[in-house]
Structure formats: structure tokens, C-alpha cells
Amino acid sequence: MSMIGPTLAFALALALGQANEPTPHPAVPAPALAPAFAAVPWHPEERMDFEVHYLGFTIGRSRLSVGRVEDGAVQVQLSSGPAGMTSALNFHQTLQSTLDLATLLPRASLHDASEPGGYKHTDTTRYDRPAGKATVREKGRFDNTYEIEVPPDALDFVTMVCRLRTLPLPDGATHTFKVLAGRKINVVVASVVKRERVKTDAGKFMTVKVRIPTRFDGKFSEKSPTHVWFSDDERRVVVKINVDFAVGSGEAELVAYQSGQAPAAPSPAPAAPSPEPVPTW
């Protein structure tokens, strides 16, 4: 059980990725351009805290957070670590994306991991959109850099979560994404299942249940598709993630939520002074 904790905690943190090829259902492509930042459902300093459970045990915690806006971009981070029965294990995983606010596409991505036994690795990706390429550096036991071709709308795991929060999710809707995982592009098809009420330690939520097929191998191979519950309101908070593995079921539930700080409305420009009257003679 010692290795299941860290592996599952990170698996759940990544439950929105590792997808199968698209199903034959009609898919609505994700829009290329994002709405104005003031209109998206997340803002700087927003924070979602999750508790991760496996086979009825608490084995980890995860946090999804939004940073400050700099140079037209914002950093969104998903971090995971031990809790409960795995508290003594030294494992931490961080996914970070620098999200361009004009397109909702990542400019750069970071995957930093520290695992039991002392193994550490850091993978970074930088996108060159005009060239249709990404530079991937994998630094662990070895240090290698690769240049790969990517489609114009390629995302990473974290930005896909952000995009899903901005898109319409009526019953039966589907959305297709191209997600870069390591050096491989996976096609992800997300489909809306239904609306239902969900209760967690963070409160009661009316939610939209979204089905996202994943591809885990070995003990964590997928028995049935991953499901993600978003709050059915303007915030689109991630309320719950469920993964039904070949060996047991894992779940991440929202335990605390902090809303972000919406950008201040620009101050109205001062009125122009009235012209001086022109004297008449």
C-alpha cells in the first residue's frame, strides 16, 4: 500500500488527462480565442483544496490555484502531496501552466515531482505558436531536450481544466481538446452526462457531471471513464473527481474554496474641461 498513495494522489490530480482517441460522437471544437479575462469564471488568488481518498482511506491532498496576472498571462498551479495514511511519505507533485489570457493557451508548462526514495524530476515545456513547435526538457536521471511539432491549439492538463470551466456545458454537449502529455499529443473528448446535487466538506453544490475517458495502465488501468463534477453556476468550481480503477476506486473531493479577486473596473476618464468662452467685441 505504500506506493499506492503517492501514485493515486497524482493520478487523481491528472485525472483530466491521459485520454483515449475520440469516440464517434459529434464534438464541438474548443474556441481558439478566450473571452476577456473579466468574463472568465476564475480570477487571481482563487484556490480549490481537495482531499484524495482511495479504498476509503485519505491518502493525499491537492490544490488548484490561480496566480497573479503579469504580461497578459497568469500562472495556474495544481499541486499534490501526502495526507492521512501516507503522511510519512515524501512525495510532492506540481503542475504549473503559464496561461495566455488572450487565447487561453499555455505559453509554458512545468511538471515538478519528488517521489519516495529520493527520485526527483522536472519537465518543462515552452511553446512557439508561430512555428507550431514546443521545446520539451526532461530533467531527472538524465537531462534531455526535445523539439516537437504541436497543433496550434495544443493544451496541457491544467489549461484544459481552465478551458472546460469557460465552455458551455448543456446536457449532451461534447468538447474536443488536443493535450500535450510529455512528448505525445492525446485527443481528449469531454462529454456532459447530467446535472446532480453533490455534498462535500466544502458545502452542497448543484453540479454538471462531465465524462472524460482516461488511459491508466497496470493497477491503475481504467475500469470505467473518469468523471468530473463542476459547479453548475458562473464559478464552475471543480467539486469532485472520480476514477474507478481496475483495483479499487479513487476520489478527490473539494474541502475548501476561496474565490479569486476580480479585476477592478477601470476608473472613468475625467471629463474634459469646458472651453473658455470666446469674447465678442
- CA distance linking residue 278 with residue 193, whole number of Å: 71
Question: Which domain range does residue 236 map to?
Answer: 4-258
Comparing CA positions, the residue from 202, 179, 248 lying closest to residue 8 is 248
Is position 274 within any domain?
no
Is position 277 within any domain?
no
Strands 203-212 and 222-231: antiparallel
**What confidence score (pLDDT) does residue 147 get?**
97
Give the chain's domain count. 1
Is position 137 within any domain?
yes
The model's pTM = 0.76
**What confidence score (pLDDT) does residue 130 get?**
95
pLDDT one digit per residue (tens) for the chain, 281 residues: 333 443 444 444 444 333 333 333 334 444 444 444 456 888 899 999 999 888 778 888 889 999 999 999 999 998 888 776 556 566 788 889 999 999 999 999 999 988 767 788 899 999 999 999 999 999 998 999 999 999 999 999 889 889 999 999 999 999 999 989 889 998 888 999 999 999 999 999 999 999 987 654 443 344 457 889 999 999 999 999 887 655 556 888 999 999 988 766 555 556 655 555 545 44
**What confidence score (pLDDT) does residue 142 get?**
93
- CA distance linking residue 194 with residue 208, whole number of Å: 6
Strands 120-128 and 105-114: antiparallel
Is position 271 within any domain?
no
Is position 264 within any domain?
no
Is position 280 within any domain?
no
Is position 279 within any domain?
no
**What confidence score (pLDDT) does residue 30 get?**
43
Is position 272 within any domain?
no
Is residue 135 within 8 A of residue 110, CB to CB? The reply is: no
